């Protein structure tokens, strides 16, 4: 589901290093051009949006009114000068997810999910503390994935240029390019630098794949969800309905390396698994809570195990947190990424764009997982050697040659047979569901 209020899209995803169009968002070049005046008006338009909707009413301890006075007292003779001023202004918020995009950058960002992207296939974010550029996860079958780039890798250089002090927009502009051209990324992994030469390509994304797997308890349904794109919910529904017709005894839902996507995609999919209960709560700066719940339209109530890892972020964490807190399924793998913020993306100026952090989200039990992530119920680490083996032979993913899948199958078998006594107890939530409040950052 995409919200189409003059180009507003609610997202729970990181920056995707691909080029996409704005189809299916209700946007057009005309509807995005809400600003047609002087460059100074763009600066004020951005300021006004932040003033009205930014998640933190203290603006991260910044005197936002003084900022407006400062930047509107300046003279801007070109759009480029206004763009630079807006970026300077937003940088004061110290929030890598709130960012300005010029027309070219806005056109290239991930607000459309047509399923065909152009780039290297990396989900990228900026660490809020270290300011380093961090890979959330590579897209399957992309140049980045096939080359061996992994979740949590730090991009230290792009074509030999240091990324020190570089934001995500600047990095994206350097990494993107025409199909079949090359870009060299220097990755820092466990204090070791590795150089990757990547050829940019057109990438097809199929958000949901499913299959019937043989097991000691009969046939089970294996579903791999790669991304919460606009068509992920419909594909998930079709996959589950097909597997139900085949009378599977249980399910393994694979959310590993899923960087997130559209907020409502995770809610729609959660409703396919949950008959009742809260799915997620979003909280804005004045504490107003939007609570999304199940609607008694679950497709199945058969036993479920969910695979997660450090590349499972944002919308993936909403879904896995909802299933865990409602005791609908058991999480197997490693701790998730830890992104608990919601952004709105809207058009400003003459085709430019603005992404603004407007809310935090909480799991049904009241957990704020931003930076903390979600701990699995059963922890299974993969060695670097095993990760490389699975990358080189992707046919092993989702088979007993995949240690995390093998453990998930073991857990599912015990759930189906009722022999769950030796399973690790479900993780205790970090907060009680009594009342969710707006969590304001502490003063610096």
Catalytically annotated residues: 314, 325, 339
The two tokens of residue 67 are 């900022």
- What whole-number distance in Å separates Cα of residue 408 and Cα of residue 86? 48
What is the helix (H) or strand (E) element at residue 308, kind and residue range?
strand 304-308
The two tokens of residue 307 are 């695979």
- What whole-number distance in Å separates Cα of residue 123 and Cα of residue 108? 13
Q: In this structure, are strands 304-308 and 330-333 parallel, antiparallel, or unpaired?
A: parallel
Half-sphere exposure of 71 (CA within 13 A, CB side): 27
What secondary structure, in 3-state letters, does 336-401 show? CCCCCEEEEEEEECCCEEEEEEEEEEECCCCCCCCCCCCCCCEECCCCHHHHHHHHHCHHHCCCCC
What does each C-alpha distance from 183 to 140, 196, 216, 336, 351 come to in angstroms? Answer: 19, 8, 47, 29, 27
- What whole-number distance in Å separates Cα of residue 133 and Cα of residue 164? 9
Strand partners, 193: 188
Nearest by Cα to 221 from 232, 206, 236, 231: 236
Burial of 59-76, coded b for 16+ CB within 10 Å and e otherwise, reads bbebebeebbeebeeeeb
SS3 98: coil
The answer to whether 270 and 322 are in contact (CB under 8 A) is: yes
Strand partners, 122: 138
Strand partners, 135: 124
Phi then psi for 224, rounded to 5 degrees? -110, 120
The answer to whether 79 and 101 are in contact (CB under 8 A) is: no
- What whole-number distance in Å separates Cα of residue 60 and Cα of residue 94? 7
Phi then psi for 116, rounded to 5 degrees? -130, 115
- What whole-number distance in Å separates Cα of residue 335 and Cα of residue 309? 6
The two tokens of residue 401 are 């040659």
- Residue where the block lists tokens 């579903």: 223
Nearest by Cα to 200 from 184, 186, 188, 224: 184
- What whole-number distance in Å separates Cα of residue 316 and Cα of residue 322? 10
């Amino acid at each position: 589901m995409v919200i189409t209020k003059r180009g507003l899209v609610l997202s729970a995803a990181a920056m995707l290093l691909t080029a996409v169009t704005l189809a299916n968002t209700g946007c057009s070049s005309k509807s995005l051009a809400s600003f047609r005046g002087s460059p100074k008006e763009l600066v004020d338009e951005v300021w006004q949006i932040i003033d009205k909707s930014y998640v933190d009413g203290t603006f991260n301890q910044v005197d936002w009114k003084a900022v407006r006075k400062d930047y509107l007292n300046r003279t801007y003779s070109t759009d480029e000068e206004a763009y630079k001023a807006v970026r300077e202004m937003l940088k004061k918020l110290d929030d890598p997810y709130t960012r300005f995009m010029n027309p070219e950058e806005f056109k290239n960002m991930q607000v459309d999910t047509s399923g065909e992207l152009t780039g290297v296939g990396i989900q990228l974010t900026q660490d809020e503390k270290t300011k380093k550029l961090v890979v959330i996860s590579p897209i399957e079958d992309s140049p980045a994935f096939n080359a061996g780039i992994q979740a949590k890798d730090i991009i230290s250089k792009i074509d030999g240029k240091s990324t020190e002090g570089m934001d995500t927009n600047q990095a994206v502009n350097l990494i993107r390019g025409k199909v079949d051209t090359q870009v060299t990324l220097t990755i820092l992994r466990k204090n070791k630098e590795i150089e990757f030469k990547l050829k940019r390509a057109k990438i097809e994304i199929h958000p949901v794949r499913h299959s019937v797997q043989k097991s000691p308890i009969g046939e089970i349904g294996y579903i791999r969800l790669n991304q919460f794109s606009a068509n992920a919910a419909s594909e998930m529904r079709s996959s589950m309905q097909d597997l139900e017709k085949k009378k599977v005894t249980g399910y393994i839902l694979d959310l590993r390396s899923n960087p997130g996507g559209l907020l409502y995609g995770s809610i729609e999919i959660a409703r396919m698994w949950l008959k009742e209960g809260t799915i997620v709560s979003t909280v804005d700066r004045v504490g107003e809570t939007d609570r999304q719940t199940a609607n008694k339209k679950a497709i199945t109530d058969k036993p479920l195990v969910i695979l997660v890892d450090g590349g499972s972020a944002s919308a993936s964490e909403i879904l896995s947190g909802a299933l865990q807190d409602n005791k609908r399924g058991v999480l197997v793998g490693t701790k998730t990424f830890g992104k608990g913020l919601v952004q709105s993306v809207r058009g400003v100026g003459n085709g430019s764009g603005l992404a603004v952090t407007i809310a935090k989200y909480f799991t049904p039990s009241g957990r704020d997982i931003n930076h903390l992530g979600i701990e699995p119920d059963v922890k299974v680490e993969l060695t670097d050697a095993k990760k490389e083996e699975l990358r080189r032979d992707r046919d092993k993913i989702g088979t007993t040659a995949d240690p995390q899948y093998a453990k998930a199958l073991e857990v599912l078998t015990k759930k189906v047979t009722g022999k769950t006594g030796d399973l690790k107890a479900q993780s205790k939530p970090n907060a009680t569901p009594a009342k969710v409040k707006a969590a304001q950052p502490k003063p610096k």
